[in-house]
Every structure is written in C-alpha cells, then in structure tokens.
Amino acid sequence: MATLLEQLRGITTVVSDTGDINSIIQYKPTDSTTNPSLIAAAAEMPAYASVVDDVLMKAREAAGPSASDKDVAALAFKSLAVAFGIKILQIIPGRVSTEVDARISYDRDKSIETARDIISQYEKAGISRERVLIKLASTWEGIKAAEILEREGIHCNMTLLFGMHQAVACAEAKVTLISPFVGRILDWYKKDTGKDYAGADDPGVQSVTKIYNYFKKFGYKTQVMGASFRNIGEIIELAGCDLLTIAPKLLSELDSKQEKLERKLDPAKAAAMNIDRIPMDQAAFEKAHAEDRMAHDKLKEGIEGFSKALEDLEKLLAKRLSEISEKQPVGAR
C-alpha cells in the first residue's frame, strides 16, 4: 500500500513549510513556503553560511562604506528571504512564498511597495512572478494591498488567517491563496477551554473545512492552503484541501505510515451544501474581528511573533557582518 504522503499527493498539492533546502530536496514538494522564523532558523545553519554572507556583502556594497553594521543588516534581511527563495526554486517545480515585513502589516501602501520590491528582486534574477507568492498578514490593510497587487499580476498568499471574516474578505479581494493556521487555532482553544481535541473535533480542522466548503460553494477561485499543523491527524482530516503546507517532521511521519487515506474535503460535495453567503466590507470585517476573540488574539500574537523574528534576524546579520569585517584585511574594509 502507498504511504499516507503518496496518497495525499494524489488529492492535495503538498507544500513544504521550511527554509531548510535539504529537507525540500528530500521530500520533493510542489511548492514551498517560508516565514521570518523559518528564514532566521535556516540562516543560523552552517550549511547556508555562504548564502547569508553573499547577501551581506551585496548589502554592504549597496549601503556604502559609511553605513553601520546595523543599517547594512536591516538592508540585507530584505534580500535574504529572496536569496533563499531563489535557491528553493532551483529545486521545486512550483512556487515559493516570500513574506512581507510583518511590522508593516497595518500599512497598505508600504506593503504594496515592499511586495513590488520583492518581485523586482526575483525578476532581476530571471524568475517569473508566476513562480512567487507574496505573503501578507490577513489584516484589512493587508487584504486591500493584496487586492491591488493581484490586479498587477503579483500573486498573494494571505497568512496569519484565523477567522471566517478574514477568509471571506480575501476571496472577495480575489487573492490567489489563503493560509488558515490550523495548529495555532487549536492552541488557542486548548488554552481557553482546558480541553484537548482530536480528529474532526479539532477547532482548526473545523475552521479550514468551513472555509473550504464556503469557497467551493460560491465558486471563488482563491485556493485554500491549510498551514501550521500540530500533528498528522489534522492533515488526515483535511485530505483533499487545495494545498497543505507541512513541516519536514510531519512529512516524514506521513511518509512512514501505510494506511488508507480517505478524502475528507471535496468540491462537488461542498457545491451541494446549504450555505449562506456572508456580506463583507470593512465595517463588517472589523465588527467580526472584534467579536472573534480567537482570531483577534492570534492575529495580534502572530504579527508580534514574526516581527520579533525579524528583529532577531537583523541582530544575527549584524553580528555576522561584524565577524566578517574583523576577518578582512584592514585595507579591504
């Protein structure tokens, strides 16, 4: 019998959730996603020291000799995710997701400017924008930024998505992809209720199932990619979802088990369901977000977490730049 991973690939696009290129080579996903935490973790691996150093040297040259290590590091981190993305795209057949700075999640115009810059870097490296997804936080401002970017042919992956209101707003904005966070939803409910959940009772699984059925019922082209899994039980319950982005540890577990995988999500079944359409504008979005404690808490926490990861990455790059500078001959500095 085929492994769970092999069966899953037959009904769902499998995406790797890592910055570790060796893991991507091992599991051969179609697409790959990264985020600030994953890039920071990969940047500390000795295997990728040359990638980091190359980005730092280019940033030093662009910033000029008078720029501080801190300023150069701030410039370099913007290019580092793209550098990893270019490496990943040499391995996978599909797309890579690269994230906009989480610290500008509530600034529509800066998000648009940063997304355009990321795409420009990829295109200068000879990579078509069709192979890149820009990741934006699912704030109202982020969703409106994505709506404008999509009209320019810049495809977006809306991340830090926890509530139905966020999903509906993304679909109405005609974004390419959304990434509802299954595991983080589970985390919140476990903490809030003191209960444990498994299988179809998992609140994260229920959230993605509801979003998937809604999108298929009303014929939205926006794809659903379940993300942030805590166990393979969640993945099994979402078999048939458009895409699932899975960490290497869980990919390994799926690849080690041989049992029948049942398709749980099906567009034909969803189309036949009795589902009410949800009206969505900014006022409705803000009202729903204020009333949904889980989505409110997890979006805030996620933005703060990714922002902290970026700050840590900037410190790491500044330290690495200092070490490189110390090793250079005096005349070369």
Could you give the CA distance from residue 126 to residue 177 in angstroms, rounded to a whole number? 23
DSSP state of 181: B
Could you give the CA distance from residue 37 to residue 330 in angstroms, rounded to a whole number? 35
In residues, how long is the chain?
333
Q: Which amino acid is at 81?
A: A
The strand pairing partners of 124, in sequence order, are none
Whether 78 sits among the annotated catalytic residues: the reply is no
Picking from 177, 174, 171, 184, the residue whose alpha carbon sits closest to that of residue 242 is 177
SS3 content of the chain, % helix, strand, coil (to 5): 60, 10, 30
Q: Which amino acid is at 58?
A: K
10 Å CB burial of residue 46 (0-12, 13-18, 19+) is exposed
Query: How far does the chain reach from its first CA to its final CA, in angstroms?
Result: 60
Residues 6+ apart with CB under 8 A from 176: 133, 150, 155, 156, 157, 222, 223
Single out the catalytic residue among 70, 135, 190, 269: 135
Could you give the CA distance from residue 38 to residue 48 in angstroms, rounded to a whole number? 13
Q: At what angle do helices 140-151 and 282-291 cross, to 10 degrees?
A: 140
Q: Which positions are annotated as active-site residues? A: 135
